[in-house]
Amino acid sequence: MNEEQNQDDEISLIDLFAVLWHRRMMILVITLIAIVGMVGFSVISLVLPTENSPLPNTYSPTALMIINNASSSGGAMAAALSATGLGGLAGLAGVSTGPTFSELAIYLVGTNTLLDAVVDRFDLITRYKIKIEKSPRTESRKVLKKQLTAAFDEKSGVFTISFTDTDPVFAQEVVNFCVLFLEKRFNELVVDQNQLEKQNLEINIANTYKEILNLEQEYHQLEYSVVSGGRMGSIPAITLEQSRITMELETQKQVYAQLKVQYELLRVSMASEKPVFQILEMAEVPDQKSGPSRGMICIIGTFAAGFFSVFLAFVMNAISNIRKDPEAMAKLQGSSKNV
């Protein structure tokens, strides 16, 4: 039984090989035509100007940023997420497994605020010839999303933004604009508690110093009135007022000294902290294309043509066998008559 099955398998393999050998010229011609066609197409796309090429070179400049996810927990992250409309994520901001600033950065890249800013800044509706009658704002966002990408590497903590276009200079300008836009948005959304405390201390220090100057001026005015010969009855009152001012002045000086100490300590603490969003490297004009890979396209096209020619050979062989089989032809003719 096994011997008969092996013989059947050998016969079927021989039959398959015989079909391919019988149609070898067709397979070879189709494959060669595909190779010549793909190579010719690649050469033409390379020689023609960019605006006329069916497959122009594209360039993808990349900018690098460092996202400090260590600062993602706490009120700052929750406030930032609430400002962007991510209410569900904001509820998880205090959890270590919750959203991070890197996720916020990726989310911001896809927001309409950034997309519209890029569209308006570089007039993408005109550049990409988007039809005005077909919702130009929505269509321009879709086109931009396909070409603008953002990614975050958890191991290195590096956040990347890249933009793909046939013009390398234009692509670089778009990427750098997005980087500066994100930096501004992070400064607006990610409000550090230390930064708020620093601003409050600066205001209090300025107000206290102003109060000290006013008290000193008031004290000197009273002193001048005594020296200039004030009335005898008013001298005790002036002396009492000077004592009060002196006590208030000492209190304000102590408050001022404490505020200055807190301010300096806070500055030292902030200097030791890493910023949430830090630009590592702005995008440069690329001197090498990022795509398309014409060699890979030729290889894939060649294999596709080869498989198609093999499939076509078996189809043609099946049709030939059917035509040689009277019973099969009779069935086909009968079914056609019934129809």
Q: Please, which residues have CB within 8 angstroms of residue 317's CB and are 6 or more apart in sequence?
A: 19, 22, 23
Residues in the chain: 339
- Arithmetic mean of pLDDT, 39-67: 85
> 3 lies in a domain?
no
* pLDDT level of residue 18 (50, 70, 90 thresholds): confident
Query: Among residues 281, 302, 320, which one ends one of the domains?
Result: 281
Other beta carbons within 10 angstroms of residue 178's beta carbon come to 24
Q: What is the pLDDT of residue 94?
A: 42
Residues 36 and 72 occupy one common structural domain? no
Residues 173 and 231 occupy one common structural domain? no
Residues 157 and 232 occupy one common structural domain? no
Q: What is the pLDDT of residue 85?
A: 52
Q: What is the pLDDT of residue 99?
A: 66
d(CA 206, CA 234): 34
Cis peptide preceding 56, ω within 30 of 0: no
- Name the one residue in this structure whose structure tokens are 């321009």: 140
What is the tens place of the pLDDT at every residue in 69-82? 765 544 444 445 45
Residues 259 and 224 occupy one common structural domain? yes
What is the tens place of the pLDDT at every residue in 203-225? 999 999 999 988 888 888 877 77
Q: What percent of the chain has pLDDT over 90?
A: 24
> 13 lies in a domain?
no
Question: CA end-to-end span of the chain, whole Å?
Answer: 44
Number of domains making up the chain: 3
Torsion of CA 194, 197, 201, 202, to 10 degrees: 70
The three-class DSSP label of residue 140 is helix
* pLDDT level of residue 325 (50, 70, 90 thresholds): confident
What is the tens place of the pLDDT at every residue in 97-132? 456 888 888 988 999 999 999 999 999 888 888 877
Query: Among residues 221, 240, 271, which one ends one of the domains?
Result: 271
Other beta carbons within 10 angstroms of residue 50's beta carbon come to 11
Residues 223 and 244 occupy one common structural domain? yes
Instruction: Judge whether 207 and 252 are in contact, CB under 8 Å.
Output: no
* Range of the structural domain that residue 326 is part of: 21-54+292-338
Average pLDDT, the chain: 80
Q: What is the pLDDT of residue 90?
A: 43
Greatest mean pLDDT range, 13-22, 187-196, 269-278:
13-22
Tell me the residue ranges of DSSP E strands in the chain. Answer: 62-67, 148-153, 158-163, 277-281
| CATH code assigned at 103 | 3.30.1890
What is the tens place of the pLDDT at every residue in 289-316? 888 888 888 889 889 999 999 999 888 8
245 vs 7, residue with greater confidence: 245
Query: Among residues 260, 281, 302, which one ends one of the domains?
Result: 281
Residues 170 and 77 occupy one common structural domain? yes
Instruction: Judge whether 11 and 270 are in contact, CB under 8 Å.
Output: no
* pLDDT level of residue 165 (50, 70, 90 thresholds): very high
125 vs 328, residue with greater confidence: 125
Residues 217 and 248 occupy one common structural domain? yes
- pTM given for the model: 0.61
Q: What percent of the chain has pLDDT over 70?
A: 79
> 67 lies in a domain?
yes
